[in-house]
Amino acid sequence: MSAPVSAIREPLITGGKTYHNITEDICGPTERTPTTAWVIAFIVAVAGLATYVFCVGWTIWVGIGSWNLNRTINWGWDITNFVWWVGIGHAGTLISAILLLFRQKWRTGVNRAAEAMTIFAVICAGQFPLIHMGRLWLGFFIFPYPNTRGPLWVNFNSPLLWDVFAISTYFTVSLLFWYTGLVPDFATVRDRAKGLRRKIYNSLSFGWTGSAKHWQRWESLSLVLAGLATPLVLSVHTIVSFDFATSVIPGWHTTIFPPYFVAGAIFSGFAMVQTLMVITRKVLHLEDYITVEHIDSMNKVILATGSIVGVAYLTELFIAWYSGYIYEQFAFYNRVMGPYFWSYIGMMSCNVISPQIFWSKKMRQSIFVTFVMSIFVNIGMWFERFVIIASTLARDYLPSSWSYYTPTWVEIGLFVGTLGLFSTLYLIFTRVAPVVAVAEVKSILKSAGDQYVGPEVARKHAEEAHHEAH
């Protein structure tokens, strides 16, 4: 008998579901014809994707000169977008790996969609370093392959190259982890289907049978992959932060960057998960699986990481003053009072001040507040990267080369375009795969379903015991 963790803990699956209900509720949406809302959303997303393709084409055809970067500010929206997307891509693996190791049951309701989101966000992130090279078709130069130029190898001491390895490893491992979790669920979809659909899902399910030995190996594999992915997810944004921290630019050259970037990544990742979950649970009627408890838990993570980020911002300011180093002091004075002061205000208010609303349980459990806050955090984290990159570069050592930067329509189009790319992938995902991990939710039904656990059930048991005593 799988005993409940705590009798008074809120249930994670509501509606008194049976195993069959779970299958029906989660696999059902993939079997019905798409709703009008989905079709409209998909058209908008594909329009965004088309914008993206056009702007990439324009960048390649005209050259990087079609962007407004200059000698002083040589990283702008491109790298800001890259770091923003990579950060968003941290939540999925954090939810599925770290929460698996910590045995957090609420992970099962959201891990599938969060991991999918992670993979799509990393795809979007990967676009920017490639496009910003200018000569996209030579992108393969970043890999150390035997070549006819010596062979001349890449610089293994460069954090930019570490990034190549970190991002591509992260993408591969996340994909493997996600797909391995999907295989049993694809088998469930397969066994409900007929004809061509059955053939397709048979192929996707890799011939899964549900044998006891396979489940044992599957659990072992998931656990070890989680163990590997946990340090990996922490390493990725650490290495992204090295891109800045190992340079000698005041404002970038700080040892606080790795933990501060990782906290920020988790923060923005959870915000994006909230944005998507609030919509997904409503549209696909999954309120019984992605409950207010799940949203509450994720808001707690947002509050914690947002506050860590806030402490990091203040620490940076303090250390800049305390160091007595005038260039460092100027860099931070410039962030707060310089030409890009508005992005600093945007960052501080969206990332540090507004999430404090989540100290209130009522706010954490409000769907509307959660959705609005998740958008705020997404905007705030974009500003954070812009502050770090553009405002720092705008004022370098030589006042004669000080500069200002605003993006061209191509750069804006690229950013909006990746939102289209991301949405297109996510919308396709909701059509072809179960958006909640069916098998994993079934495995916690008896320890987290509302007919088995929760305050209601505890009260009922207490009453029964009371009656028996009399």
Partner 1 sequence: MNQHKEVLYGLYDDEEVLLKAVRKAKSDHLDIMDVFSPFPVHGLDDALELTESRLHITGFIFGAIGTLTAFLFMTWVFTRDWPIIFGGKPYFSAPAFIPITFELTVLFASIGMVVTFYTICGMGPGVTNPTLDDRITDDKFCIAFDVTGAEAKQVDKLRAFLSSTGAGEVNAKEI
DSSP 107-133: HHHHHHHHHHHHHHHHHHHHHHHHHTT
Rounded Cα distance, 180 and 375, in Å: 31
Query: Two tokens at 306?
Result: 């947002």
**Residue with Cβ nearer partner 1 (135 or 217):** 217
User: Cβ distance 346 to 310 under 8 Å?
Assistant: no
CB 396 → partner 1: shortest distance, Å? 20
Question: What number of chain residues touch partner 1 (CB under 8 A)?
Answer: 65
Residue 104 interacting with partner 1 (CB under 8 A): no
**Residue with Cβ nearer partner 1 (198 or 300):** 198
> Which parts of 214-253 interact with partner 1 (CB under 8 A)?
214-221, 223-225, 228-229, 231-232, 235, 239, 242
> Which parts of 193-212 interact with partner 1 (CB under 8 A)?
202-203, 206-212
For helices 326-337 and 292-323, give the axis angle rounded to 10 degrees. 130
**Residue with Cβ nearer partner 1 (338 or 434):** 434
CB 286 → partner 1: shortest distance, Å? 18
Residue 133 interacting with partner 1 (CB under 8 A): no
User: Cβ distance 56 to 414 under 8 Å?
Assistant: yes
**Residue with Cβ nearer partner 1 (243 or 384):** 243
Query: Two tokens at 150?
Result: 């010596």
> Which parts of 160-199 interact with partner 1 (CB under 8 A)?
161-162, 165-166, 169, 172-173, 176-177, 180, 183-184, 187-188, 190-192
Give just the sign of the alpha carbon dihedral 13, 15, 20, 25.
negative
Rounded Cα distance, 89 and 116, in Å: 9
CB 82 → partner 1: shortest distance, Å? 18
> Which parts of 295-324 interact with partner 1 (CB under 8 A)?
none
**Residue with Cβ nearer partner 1 (98 or 367):** 98
Chain centroid to CA 192: 31
CB 11 → partner 1: shortest distance, Å? 18
Rounded Cα distance, 202 and 208, in Å: 8
Residue 443 interacting with partner 1 (CB under 8 A): yes
Mark 122-152 as b/e (b = at least 16 C-beta within 10 Å). Answer: bbbbbbbbebbeeeeeeeeebeeeeeeeeee
Closest CA to 128 of 73, 89, 85, 160: 85
Side-chain-side CA neighbours of 128 within 13 Å: the count stands at 29
Residue 147 interacting with partner 1 (CB under 8 A): no
Residue 156 interacting with partner 1 (CB under 8 A): yes
Q: Identify the residue among 132, 294, 364, 442 touching partner 1 (CB under 8 A).
A: 442
Residue 105 three-state SS: coil
**Residue with Cβ nearer partner 1 (46 or 161):** 161
> Which parts of 21-80 interact with partner 1 (CB under 8 A)?
23
The residues, ordered by sequence, that sit 6+ positions from 256 with a Cβ below 8 Å of its Cβ are 312, 315, 316, 319
Rounded Cα distance, 13 and 258, in Å: 37
Q: Please give the residue ranges that form the binding site for partner 1 (CB under 8 A).
A: 1-2, 18-20, 23, 144, 150-153, 155-159, 161-162, 165-166, 169, 172-173, 176-177, 180, 183-184, 187-188, 190-192, 202-203, 206-221, 223-225, 228-229, 231-232, 235, 239, 242, 439-440, 442-443
